[in-house]
Structure 1
Amino acid sequence: MSDYEDEKSDVIEKRHEHVLPGEHVYEGVLFFGYTPPDILDAVKDFEVRDSDIFLFLSERFPTIDTDVADNNHWFTGTTWLQELTWLVMNDGNFDEAIQKPVYFRSPFLEFKDEDLNEVGLDLANPMPSPRILKTHLPTKLMPSQIQTRDCKTIVLFRNPKDLCVSYYHFYRASSSFGDFRGTWEDFFYMFLDGHVDHGSWFDYTRSWWARRQDPRVCILYFEDMKSDLRREIDRLCDFLEKPLQEGVRDAITGHCLFDSMRSNPMTNHLDMFIVFVTGEVGDWKNLFTVTQSELFDKFYKDELGDLNIPFKFTLD
């Protein structure tokens, strides 16, 4: 066995004892209780419309209870893309955008929280078209009708080192994950092993990268949105066939700048929760040790190195 295989075996054996509330495995993918098996069954049979827009997102973060997070009202790339897409498809309707939370305008398809009256399928089914639907599912668990309908799919990727660090902060801050109190090193190994909610990031990414040539699929990158938001809004308009006027595109850009979004209560759950995550590209350097970075690189090369996905780990 090679030195790399020895290292990988050691990592796989180093599973953390942490158990998610309602933890279960569905078709080989780990989920917490807010994504129960009956919902996952129903998602597969979900009635898809040709006008639907699905947002498949690699950042899999629920919100964070206000009494456990520091005073940082931030959001994730998931919320960012939801708001952008909704505004593009609704001709920059800012009046509604500042009055109705994004998670009701763009429901989380496989999420079920009856206490918050946020059951994704119940919200999605009666919505008028075009619906904008968020999910973190790999291709094998997506609604089966996506394959035959003329709907559009937008996939948002983020470099995995920053994503891993952000996910760690969410695990530590959110009671939804069962009051995780492990160390960064514990979570690092959990992430590599796919022992986190919604399962392996590596499997998810491979499954969606394989669909990149489908004309109904558009892949965006968090780092590109940070680097030139207006350019990415133009890309969205082209893909979604929404020829908005320049003034509307400019207004959407201003509304969706990172600093504007994090102070908007309709996009960061300030009505019930707050979200704790840094949106800086390259933040992974603040937690990764040199050894961890090298080990992560070996895992990545073994799992996805043949795909040549153009991730950016820093912004010049």
Structure 2
Amino acid sequence: MSANECEGKPQVISSDLRDLGDIHDLNNFQCLLYDGLYLPMAPPKRLEGRSQLENYKSIKDAQLNRDDVILCAYLKCGNHWLFEVLGMLTTGSLLYRKSLPRSQMIDFIYKDGIESLPPPRLLVTHLPLRMLPTQVVEKKLKCIQIRRNPKDVCVSMYNNFRNLAVPKSFEGNFAEFTEAFLSGEM
């Protein structure tokens, strides 16, 4: 991809590179193109000496237990809301957490983080089935998939990204955001 082609778009790094480096676009957005999806890059301090690609690939090899439950959904579809409900049901506690604990999000903790959690585990992901641990299918784990009207998802994402701190915030109008959402560039 030439520099002109990248202008105004997320910088995408090919998944065949070993060292992903520190790549930014105009909005400080970092991503990795892996298995046909744009995935966020972790800050270098969270990579623990491995490349981002190695971390994402490691997820497939994670060891799971039969009592693990995985909550799966696209961004802004209600992961946090349902995570809270399931957490309250499984623990018997009415404790509400204002933010989804990244310590239980497969997309951020990778293989090592998954395996270090004590059972029973309630895991959350935005990844598709093909990128989840192979044991999800082998052990026939419980997966809960959340679906939401795409129009509602688009509006929710727009409002969320518009309210992020600069430079990560979306500064365009709703029509521009909707065009990007529908094009598959999100």
- The structural deviation recorded for 1:30 is 1.1
Q: Which amino acid is the alignment partner of residue 81 of structure 1? A: L
1:173 aligns with 2:177: no
Q: Distance in 1 between matches of 2:144 and 2:81?
A: 13
Q: Distance in 2 between matches of 1:37 and 1:176?
A: 27
**Which digits, 9 at most, give the CA deviation of each residue in 1:266-301, with x for residues without a partner?**
xxxxxxxxxxxxxxxxxxxxxxxxxxxxxxxxxxxx
Superposition pairs for residues 255-266 of structure 1, below 5 Å?
none
For normalisation by structure 1, the TM-score amounts to: 0.44
1:79 aligns with 2:80: yes
Q: Which amino acid is the alignment partner of residue 110 of structure 1? A: D
SS of 2:72's partner is strand
**Which digits, 9 at most, give the CA deviation of each residue in 1:126-179, with x for residues without a partner?**
222110000011122121111101320000111110011111112222249833
Change (3 A) 1:34 1:103: same
Q: Distance in 1 between matches of 2:69 and 2:82?
A: 12
Q: Distance in 2 between matches of 1:164 and 1:127?
A: 33
Q: Distance in 1 between matches of 2:144 and 2:170?
A: 31
Change (3 A) 1:128 1:176: farther
Consecutive unaligned residues of structure 1, counting only runs of 5 or more, are: 1-14, 62-75, 112-118, 197-316
Please point out which of 17, 41, 44 is paired with 2:8: 17
**Which digits, 9 at most, give the CA deviation of each residue in 1:2-36, with x for residues without a partner?**
xxxxxxxxxxxxx9924262222111111222394
SS of 2:146's partner is strand
- The structural deviation recorded for 1:102 is 4.7
1:103 aligns with 2:101: yes
| 8 Å contact kept, 1:54–1:135 | yes
| 8 Å contact kept, 1:48–1:146 | yes
Tell me the residue number matched to 2:64.
Answer: 48
Superposition pairs for residues 206-245 of structure 1, below 5 Å?
none
**Which digits, 9 at most, give the CA deviation of each residue in 1:198-218, with x for residues without a partner?**
xxxxxxxxxxxxxxxxxxxxx
Q: Which amino acid is the alignment partner of residue 21 of structure 1? A: F
Q: Distance in 1 between matches of 2:150 and 2:97?
A: 33
Superposition pairs for residues 263-282 of structure 1, below 5 Å?
none
1:184 aligns with 2:174: yes
Residue identity over aligned pairs, in percent, reads 28
| 8 Å contact kept, 1:51–1:150 | no
Consecutive unaligned residues of structure 2, counting only runs of 5 or more, are: 1-5, 11-27, 44-51
Q: Distance in 2 between matches of 1:176 and 1:108?
A: 25
| 8 Å contact kept, 1:21–1:176 | no
| 8 Å contact kept, 2:80–2:99 | no
Q: Distance in 2 between matches of 1:120 and 1:42?
A: 6
SS of 2:30's partner is coil
Q: Distance in 2 between matches of 1:51 and 1:80?
A: 21
SS of 1:125's partner is helix
In the comparison of the two structures, how many residue pairs are matched?
Answer: 156
Tell me the residue number matched to 1:222.
Answer: none
Please point out which of 18, 24, 29 is paired with 2:37: 29
SS of 2:145's partner is strand
